[in-house]
Structure 1
Amino acid sequence: MLHHMASREDENAAVSDRSGAQRPGPVPPLRMDALLSELQEHVERVRGGRDRMQTLLDAVMAVGSDLDLEDLLRRIVQSAADLVDAEYGALGVLGEEGTIRQFITVGMDQGTIARIGHYPEGQGILGLLIREPHPLRLEDLGEHPEAVGFPPGHPPMRTFLGAPVQVRDKIFGNLYLTDKRGGTPFDADDEAVLRSLAAAAGVAIDNARLYDDSRHRERRLAAGAEMTRALLSGAPPEEILRSLADTVREMTDSDLVTLARPVGEGDGLVVEAAAGAAADQVLGLALPATTLAAKVYATGKPLTSDSLSDDPRASGGSASVVPLGPAFFVPVGDSEAIRGVLQVADAPGRPPFTDAAVDMVLTFADQAALALQLAEHRRDAEQLALLGDRDRIARDLHDQVIQRLFADALTLQAALGRVRDQPAAAERIQQVVDDLDATIKIIRSTVFGLQHRDRQQRTGGLRAHLLTLTDEATRTLGFAPSLRMTGLLDTDVPATHADHLLAVLREALSNAARHARATTVEVTAEAVGRTLRLTVTDNGRGIDPATTRRSGLANLRSRAEELGGMFRLARRDPTGTLLEWTVPLPVGSAAPGAAG
């Protein structure tokens, strides 16, 4: 049997055909296993490629179906990380100056993001992709000569894959992927997939921007129509300003919108209208020249900030009262006649405003400037009509009432000589003559006031004097005090009350400079209802409330008591001093202006 098996094996090993040539024998088992394994691997690669292509198509379809830009950008990053099996992904949106203005990440929790702090500004490898927008693959980030390391709290990363996202002819940003799962580096297939997704993302972003533009255009048209209705309804300028702030906030979906308007002849601005949760905290706030709003008012050019509270270009303003993140400022009006400055801001941590949102508010600001101009012209016309009525009333009082009273007084005086023998009647007639003379003097004083009130108004109101006084205090304090003004200070506060208030503020700022050693001083002047109130607070060591015999403090108290009000000086917790000066306003008071 063994011999038979050997003969069969020899026969199978060398089988000849009819021509005498040998044919190859059967494939050895080990060789067959290798071929089967290779075929299986090829099938797996084909299947994997098919699955990856299907995943890519699904990602492209998902990305293209979202028209909200913020959600779209995050979906792009997540899809890119899923397609190449990366642990971390990010999309850096580029600003106008070639720096990263928005950074969207996946793979990190909020605690890690908070520990890292501010998002990258475009240095190192990220800056290389910005300067050279081409796909980039690295096996080790740290070995690249452009690498600058990671900030504290940043998780370690090794492998890297990046690709630009192009919208039409402009680079929108870059996709960054790190740490491929399994520890292997990114390969050429990963790069091809990312490039395909980046191309599709560019188209989707362009569509989303066009969609945003259409929505903003609709909002702008609706806002313009609302403002037109307000103008046609005859609403006063104050209501138009509040409506303007509310409309801009709705248009931009922002957290805070303020409208600052000039006060007096100088460059001072005051927040005249505000909308948002923190509106009451910033309404009436005076904006010094160091604020971005004042710079926009001076130059007529819009400004943007990624984090207003941390912006080194700004000092003071609403960001010193409430924490603010992304913001932009636009002038209301043209360079020849700027009527105010709009500030649109979000809370810290929110993404920057899109260019479409800024352009929308810029266009609406032009309409708002026209609306304010029309409202001011209508107010001027009403003022002229009022002045005309005053002149007519003054003329009638002078030409008719005074002359008739004077004639009646002369008649009574002539009759007085005929009743000299009747002392009681003569005394009564003389009393009536004296009363008529006093009445004539009162009417003449009223006529003078009616004729000269508009001239006094042009000398500057209480608000302008408050701004001047706080600006002057900057030199003695070493910093600009914060000023907030609310209510009708220029119209409801009589000149006498205004003079007292300015004297009290001058003394309070002088005390803060000499004794408090403070680093912040906050001044609030308000005319609410029938009450005029001045509050001055600081964070220094303050003045001992027990030292009420100090001459300056005694003067402040006497000024309040003279007008029927009160004066209070108290310690603040934990440090500082609170000075409060409150007086009632007379019924029917009108303030032609404060004396300088």
Structure 2
Amino acid sequence: MRLDELLDELQVRIDAVRGTRDRVHSLLEAVVSVGRELDLAQVLRRIVEAAALLVDAEYGALGVIGPDGRTLSQFLTVGLTEEAIAEIGPLPAGHGLLGEVIHHPEPLRLTDLGAHSSSYGFPPHHPPMRTFLGVPIRVREEVFGNLYLTDKRGGVDFDPEDETVISTLSVAAGVAIDNARLYEGAQRQQRWLKANAEITESLLSGSSRPAVLELIARRAQEITGARIADISMPVPAADGLFVEFAAGPDSRTRQGLVVPVAGTLSGAAHRTGQPVTAVLAPDDDRYPDDAQTQGWLGPAVAVPLGTAGGDSRGVLLLARPAGEPVFGETELEPLVAFAGQAAIALELAERRRDAEQIALLEERDRIARDLHDLAIQRLFATGMTLQSAARLVEHEGAAERVSRAVDDLDETIKIIRSTIFGLRTKDRESGPGLRARAARAVGDAATALGHPPRLSMEGLLDTDVPSEIADHVMAALGELLSNAARHAGATRVAVALKAEPGEIVLTVSDNGRGIPAQGRRSGLRNLDDRAQGLGGTFTVDTPDGGGSRLVWRAPLPTGG
């Protein structure tokens, strides 16, 4: 019997050794699997999957600590289906028991997590959990995040060996994360350098300003993985920013917006000249008036387009979907450098445009001098010669013909002088385009309204709309904004200006008290007369939700 007992004990120890061997092999395989990846997102996913497998946990999660060091900016789970995650709702931010491991970065093992003092229950639709094991992950002595494991299969508790295994995995995970971050940083830096070179090449090849702006926004969107990328420029003589280019979903809605400097993410970056970040842009109380960020957006950053210590020439706004990583310091540094390079590119484009304008004016002046000094003088001399010759012609018909030729020469001289005057006054008569004039008018109206109107513009407003029609459009816009400020009592005003084939349409809508039936309508009559004088129309509607909607239309010339 004693021999049987010794054999049984030996078998138990052999099984234990085999179990330890198998676990060590599994741990080594997990370490190799985690270290093999270079993509940071894949590394994080491999870590949490390997951890749950090593300790036979039903549920696992990896929480990445945000820049503030107190909350979670990213949360990856294992064991929950997509449907279950959607039913639970927003991912945890790192409060309660999860925050306990953040504030005290040491392994934490519990038999019943609900009994811990930091636990305050689960949200609705969350599966019940009992046992718990939390271990921090350090990267170069800095706590990167935490591994959370719950419900060891078989209904048993996590033991000290499980804690040792996960702690060992966390060390390897820290090295793998560090390698992935270094690789990702090197790749990102290479992409930024390539983008800068592409922008410079685009400028040297003579690309237009809109094309350069689009290139800046697109490349920043691609490199950072942003969902939206907007470039806003300051509105002259107004405390607002005009969204000159927008990329991503709802770009047509955002492009043309005039957002205030106060109470917006872009405005804060423009005012301070420093990058400004938000962990969850739509819920950030610092920016209550930000119309560029939507409810489905998450982390965002606004970077001023300017050199270090210089004034902001505009703002680049980037936003990722909800649940994506926040913009950290490692991303901000190359992004700020890229924005500075973009600002230089825009300045070079403006300087080149100014140089081209100066060259054009000089060429006009030269042509005017040549016409005056050469053509007019020679024509005048020819006319004097013909007048003298006419006195010597005895034939009445021939003398009449010479006299008519002299009159034609005088008329030609007048036309050339008029052309010279036109050449020299062209620059004074050509002011800013309709798009810039409309943006300035809407920005100026913010003071009278008490809030910035929403502005959207579509079509070739600066090329397809003749100057005389543009003047009528600006007069109509000014009258409509003035009426909204004086009579509507609205808290929201929207302006839409659209150049369509053969027609320009100006729409101003608000949520105010509407157009009174017996009120003074002299201003509206003037708008109607102005539209009819151009062959257009002016209509006043009351939307279903109240307020007013005023539409002013005028035809545009078509053809070459």
TM-score by length of 1: 0.80
Aligned partner of residue 452 in structure 2, secondary structure? coil
- In the alignment, which residue of structure 1 is the partner of 2:523? 552
The offset of 1:342, in angstroms, is 1.8
Q: Does the CA contact (< 8 Å) of 1:262 and 1:339 recur in 2?
A: yes
5 Å-filtered alignment, 1:555-566, equals 555-566=526-537
Aligned twin of 1:18: none
The Cα shift of 1:94 comes to 1.6
Match of 2:23 among 52, 60, 76: 52
Unaligned runs of 5+ in 1: 1-25, 590-596
Give the Cα–Cα distance (whole angstroms) in 2 for the partners of residues 583 and 321 of structure 1: 34
Q: Which residue of the other structure, out of 273, 277, 280, is the alignment partner of 1:304?
A: 277
Match of 2:180 in 1: 208
Which residue in the other structure is 2:267 paired with?
294
> Is residue 341 from structure 1 mapped to residue 315 from structure 2 by the alignment?
yes
Shift of 1:482: 0.9
Instruction: Sort the Cα spacing of 1:475 and 1:270 in 2 relative to 1 into closer, same or farther, 3 A.
Output: closer
Letter paired with 1:328: V
| Aligned equivalent of 2:442 | 470
Partner of 1:279: 251
Q: Aligned equivalents of 2:224 and 2:478: distance in 1?
A: 41
Give the gaps of 5 or more residues in structure 2.
none
> What SS does structure 2 have at the residue aligned with 1:273?
strand
Aligned equivalents of 2:503 and 2:6: distance in 1?
A: 97
Q: CA deviation at 1:576?
A: 5.2
User: 3-state SS of the aligned residue for 2:68?
Assistant: coil
Q: 2:345 aligns with which of 361, 371, 375?
A: 371
Q: CA deviation at 1:225?
A: 3.2
User: After the TM superposition, which of the residue ranges 90-99 and 272-281 deviates more from structure 2?
Assistant: 272-281
Partner of 1:144: 116
The 1-side partners of 2:540 and 2:383 are apart by: 55
The Cα of 1:288 is off from its aligned counterpart by 2.3
Residues 376 and 450 (structure 1 numbering): CA distance in 2 closer, same or farther, change over 3 Å? same
Partner SS for 1:242: helix
CA shift in 2, pair 1:587/1:393, >3 Å? farther
Aligned partner of residue 339 in structure 1, secondary structure: coil
After superposition, give the CA deviation of every residue in 1:506-561 in whole Å (9 maximum; x if it has no partner).
333344456656543321224466654322234556448x9999333222222222
Q: CA deviation at 1:197?
A: 0.9
Contact 1:86 1:181 in 2 (8 A): yes
- Structure 1 residues 416-446: Cα deviation after superposition (integer angstroms, max 9, x where no partner): 9999x9899989969985x877776665555
Q: 1:220-369 residue pairs with structure 2 within 5 A? A: 220-264=192-236, 266=238, 268-289=240-261, 290-315=263-288, 319=292, 323-334=296-307, 335-353=309-327, 355-369=329-343
Q: Secondary structure at the match of 1:485?
A: strand
Alpha-carbon distance between aligned partners in 1 of 2:343 and 2:316, rounded to the nearest angstrom? 11
The answer (yes or no) to whether the contact 2:304–2:315 under 8 Å persists in 1 is yes
Output the CA distance in 2 between the equivalents of 1:354 and 1:113.
Answer: 26
Superposition deviation, residue 177 in structure 1? 1.7
- Higher mean C-alpha deviation, range 439-448 or range 109-118: 439-448
Distance 2:466 2:9 in 1: 98
> Could you tell me which amino acid in structure 1 is paired with residue 427 of structure 2?
D
Inter-partner Cα distance in structure 1 for 2:471 and 2:144: 58
> In structure 2, what is the Cα distance between the partners aligned to 1:429 and 1:208?
91
Backbone CA RMSD of aligned residues: 3.9
Q: TM-score, normalised by structure 2?
A: 0.85
Q: Secondary structure at the residue paired with 1:338? A: coil
Rg bigger for which structure?
Answer: 1
1:204 deviates by: 0.7
Residues 1:321 and 1:152: Cα distance change in structure 2 (over 3 Å): closer
Q: How do 1:385-396 residues align onto structure 2 when only pairs under 5 Å count? A: 385-396=359-370
CA distance in 2, matches of 1:319, 1:328: 12
Judging changes above 3 Å, is the alpha-carbon distance between structure 1 residues 39 and 365 closer, same or farther for their aligned structure 2 residues? same
- The alpha carbon displacement at 1:43 in A equals 3.5
Q: How many Å apart are 1:575 and its aligned residue?
A: 5.3
Q: Which residue of 2 aligns with 1:91?
A: 62
Q: Residues 525 and 82 from structure 1, CA distance in 2 versus in 1: closer, same or farther, beyond 3 angstroms?
A: same
Return the alpha-carbon distance in structure 2 between the equivalents of residues 576 and 110 of structure 1.
43
Q: How many residues align?
A: 556
- Does residue 175 of the first structure (1) align with residue 147 of the second (2)? yes
1:309 touches 1:319 (CA, 8 Å); kept in 2? Answer: no
Which piece of structure 1 moves more, 514-523 or 214-223? 514-523
Check whether the contact 2:238–2:443 (CA below 8 A) recurs between aligned residues: no
